[in-house]
Amino acid sequence: MITAEELREQFDYDQETGVFTRRVRSSNCIKIGCVAGTLNSDGYLKFRVNNKRYFAHRLAWLYVHGVWPCAQIDHINGDRDDNRIANLREATCAENSRNSKKRRGGRCRLKGVYIQKHRFGAQIRMQGKNIYLGYYATEEEAHAAYVAAAEKEFGAFARAE
């Protein structure tokens, strides 16, 4: 595994933009100063260091803090290729999933809301179980119940969208 010193010798990292640029040439087709990384199919930026692929957000953490993250790295704003250090934080698997965006599909457009028999239900998932928050007349009211519960239970990791 790469160390912070090796990473800093080979790359520059701009904490304001989250962009890595190359300080050395690793092959004939790579130029000094070019931006490192490509997006993978999940939307995360990855690039090679010493012939091994790494996620850019984990390398950003290593570059700034000098140690590998103990847990997962969460993108606070949910943008998987926004690797500014101010947008990254360590998180447990549960905390990281709490900060996820609404899943695609379903008939409701707001997170935490479902439709059953022409009513809007609100639910939140905690500790592997669905907790039902009641039925509401509108999708917005049900979503407001979800947001209140998420802020209470998840704190800084609550995501309303």
Summarize pLDDT for 70-92 with one digit per residue, the tens. 989 999 998 999 999 999 999 98
Q: Place 154 in a pLDDT band, splitting at 50, 70 and 90.
A: confident
The average pLDDT across 50-78 equals 94
Average of pLDDT values for 13-30? Answer: 90
Confidence of residue 53 (pLDDT cuts 50, 70, 90): very high
123, 112 contact by CB (below 8 A): yes
> What SS3 class is residue 95?
helix
Contact present, 80 and 98 (Cβ < 8 Å): no
Q: What's the mean pLDDT in 137-160? A: 85
Share of the chain above pLDDT 90, in %: 57
pLDDT attached to residue 19: 97
Quote the Cα angle for 3-48-80, to 5°: 95
